[in-house]
């Protein structure tokens, strides 16, 4: 994990590693791709897609998974069996939305019985060139990068 311009890399209220493990598990289960944590200095490229959900509760966060189109296509192709050349933009959005939904749902299940709970928003997907997230006020953020060959994902958790 790293510290970026938004604040400390981890906040005690949220088990950040649980989100990382949930993302690795979801990609492995749904796409058969084993992702590994990457050094924070790895230049992952420019994100063109971001799936996100708001996890509201005692300590609300925004869960965000960012990727470039080629990485998203690699994962969605394995999830759906649709050749990457035949994937539509809607297929990529749906696949990324499903992935972020699976991660949030997995963390919610892993926290069951711990006394900590949260509500999930519907998953959202944003697309564009060189996506970046800016906060109007100080917002703590954790960042984890995962890679498998040419496929990369960034997992960000914004403490709102």
Which two structure tokens, joined as six digits, stand for 57? 């509760």
Read off the pTM.
0.87
Kindly report the CATH number assigned to the domain that includes residue 66.
3.40.1550.10
> Residue 130's pLDDT is what?
84
* Total number of domains constituting the chain: 1
In a domain, 2, yes or no: no
In a domain, 145, yes or no: yes
In a domain, 6, yes or no: no
In a domain, 1, yes or no: no
Which two structure tokens, joined as six digits, stand for 110? 């892993």
In a domain, 5, yes or no: no
In a domain, 150, yes or no: yes
| Separation between Cα atoms, residue 160 and residue 157, nearest integer Å | 9
> Residue 87's pLDDT is what?
96
Mean pLDDT in each 10-residue stretch from start to end of the chain (160 residues)?
39 76 97 91 79 91 94 96 94 97 94 85 94 82 92 92
Nearest-5° Cα angle at 147, 36 to 56: 80
In a domain, 11, yes or no: no
Range of the domain at 139: 16-159
Going from the C-alpha of 103 to that of each of 56, 90, 155, the distances in angstroms are 15, 20, 10
In a domain, 82, yes or no: yes
């Amino acid at each position: 994990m790293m510290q970026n311009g938004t604040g400390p890399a981890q906040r005690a209220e949220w088990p950040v590693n649980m989100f990382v493990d949930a993302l690795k598990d979801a990609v492995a289960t749904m796409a058969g791709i084993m992702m590994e944590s990457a050094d924070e200095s790895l230049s992952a490229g420019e994100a063109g897609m971001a799936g996100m959900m708001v996890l509201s509760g005692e300590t609300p966060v925004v869960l965000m998974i960012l990727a470039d189109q080629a990485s998203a296509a690699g994962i969605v192709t394995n999830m759906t069996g649709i050749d990457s050349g035949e994937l539509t933009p809607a297929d990529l959005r749906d696949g990324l939305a499903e992935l972020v939904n699976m991660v949030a749902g997995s963390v919610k299940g892993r926290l069951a019985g711990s006394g900590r709970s949260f509500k999930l928003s519907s998953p959202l997907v944003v697309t564009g060139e060189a996506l970046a997230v800016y906060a109007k006020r100080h917002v703590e953020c954790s960042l984890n990068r995962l890679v498998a060959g040419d496929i990369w994902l960034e997992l960000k958790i914004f403490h709102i």
